[in-house]
Structure formats: structure tokens, C-alpha cells
Amino acid sequence: MKGEPVFHVLPDAEALARAAAGRILGIVRERLADQARKRKTGVKFHMALSGGTTPRRAFELLAGPPYAEIFPWEDVHFWQVDERWVPPDHPESNRRMLLDTLLSHVPVPSVNLHFIDTSLGSPADAVRAYETALRAALPAPKRGFPAFDLVHLGLGIEGHVASLFPDSPAMDEASAWVTTSTGGDPDLPRVTLTLSVINAAAAVLFVVSGSDRAEALEKTLAGEAVPGGLVSPENGTLTFLADEAAAGEVEP
């Protein structure tokens, strides 16, 4: 890991959403500036966003002032961390949530949007299609994994991240970039990035809210064997943003 994990506690869910929006923009700007300093041309920023409820407010903030005007939308490619196996316009669809809260309100070119396609025949078909799209956009070393510039994660009550649930076979996937899984709330078949891809990212950002996450966050921060605790980007940074309810007794 690059440096020690960073852990910030915010007073409440609204402050957490503000901090998350600001941190996402900060990571994007820093990385693009670094690429410009190295005179790399045509380089884009690739970010994978989680679904669920917690990120909604931060995404809405990014879609409004001042972020909507200052965010470098054209330079950022948006990917999904995971998707529930429901039609794309279903209320439980993560793609729909990303579009409704953020992506349909900002001037991001449509070629920069990469969704897990739940209109295909099966989750396995969607896995293949998503991995193919990833391989075309994000080069990786032979038998290695693509390095997202940022992977944004939530944390489930029992410590899951992405759609990687405790004891799920998806957790043991050693070589795939994308895999199928089942579980969560709602309990559905899912398509998810693997732990290997998450741990290959240049930056991983957890955003965690609510007292029902306190135990999972404590285990995750302690590096225990819950999925969250296994997130440890090999060459990247690891940041936790939590509200006071989720942080519980844990001191930053």
C-alpha cells in the first residue's frame, strides 16, 4: 500500500457526503495534474463507482454547483463496481441510481460511460462483456489486473464490499477481473469487480454511514477477514470516510 490508510470521521451523513464529493474531485484533479506534469497526453481518469444508498447524496452534490462546473467530466471514465441483476431501468439498478443522481445531469460524454449490461442473456454474459470493455480501455500486465485510478466502495452491514459477500465463492476468484455473485440486500444475482481488481487500484475510497455499519467498519479497519478487511491496494492509497455513527468508538 502507498502510505498508511487514512481515516476521517465526519459529524453526520450530510457532512460525509460533502467530504466524499470533495475527496472524489480532489483525487481526480491530483491524478490528472500529475499526468500533465509527466507530459502524458491523452490519458484519462478511470473511476469505478459503487451503488446502494449511501453514495446517493455525494453523487447529487457532484451533479450540482460548484462541482458540475469545475469537474473535468470529459477526462473521466465512469465504470460500475457492481450491479444487481435487474433490468437497467429497475428501481434497484445501480446503473439507474448512478444516472439518476449524477451521470444524466452532467456533461460527461456518453463514450465515457461503461455500464454492466443487465439486458444481456445472463450474468455470465454480462461478466464477459464488461471484462472485454475493461480490457480494451485499461491495459494491464499479462496475467495482471487493470489499475483503476479510483475505486469507490460502500460497506455492507456484514462487511461486504462491491458484491463480494462473506464466504462467497466470488471472494476466492484469483484470476478474473469481473465475476458473478449472489446475495446482498436486495438478495439478487450480481456482477462485480473482483478483489484483485479493487486491490490493483491507484486509490480506494470507502464511504461509510450509519451505526449499523460500526461493527463492519471496525473489522475492516482492523484488517479482519471480512471482505472489507481484505481491501488493501497493493500500490495504491486507502482512504476511509465515515460519519460518527459508523465510526462508533473507533478513533481516527
Binding-residue total with ligand 6PG (CB under 6 A)? 14
In the numeric block, which cell numbers belong to residue 105?
A: 445531469
**Which C-beta is closer to ligand 6PG: that of 83 or that of 131?**
83
Dist. CA 241–CA 252, nearest whole Å: 10
Q: How far apart are CA 89 and CA 107, in angstroms?
A: 21
As measured in angstroms, the least distance from the Cβ of 84 to ligand 6PG is 6
- By the rule CB under 6 A, 84 interacts with ligand 6PG: yes
Applying CB under 6 A, does 81 fall inside the site for ligand 6PG? yes
Applying CB under 6 A, does 93 fall inside the site for ligand 6PG? no
Q: CA-CA distance, 205 to 239, in Å (whole number)?
A: 5
Beta-ladder partners of 188: 183
Confirm or reject binding of residue 236 to ligand 6PG (CB under 6 A): no
Determine which residue in the list 184, 227, 228, 236 makes contact with ligand 6PG, applying CB under 6 A. 184
154 interacts with ligand 6PG by CB under 6 A: yes
19-34 b/e (C-beta count within 10 Å ≥ 16 → b): bbbebbbebbeebbee
Residue nearest to ligand 6PG (CB): 154
Instruction: Return d(Cα 161, Cα 93) in angstroms, integer.
Output: 17
Q: What's the half-sphere exposure (Cβ side, CA atoms, 13 Å) at 176?
A: 19
CB of 46 or CB of 190, closer to ligand 6PG:
190
Footprint of ligand 6PG (CB under 6 A): 50-54, 81-82, 84, 94, 154, 156, 161-162, 184
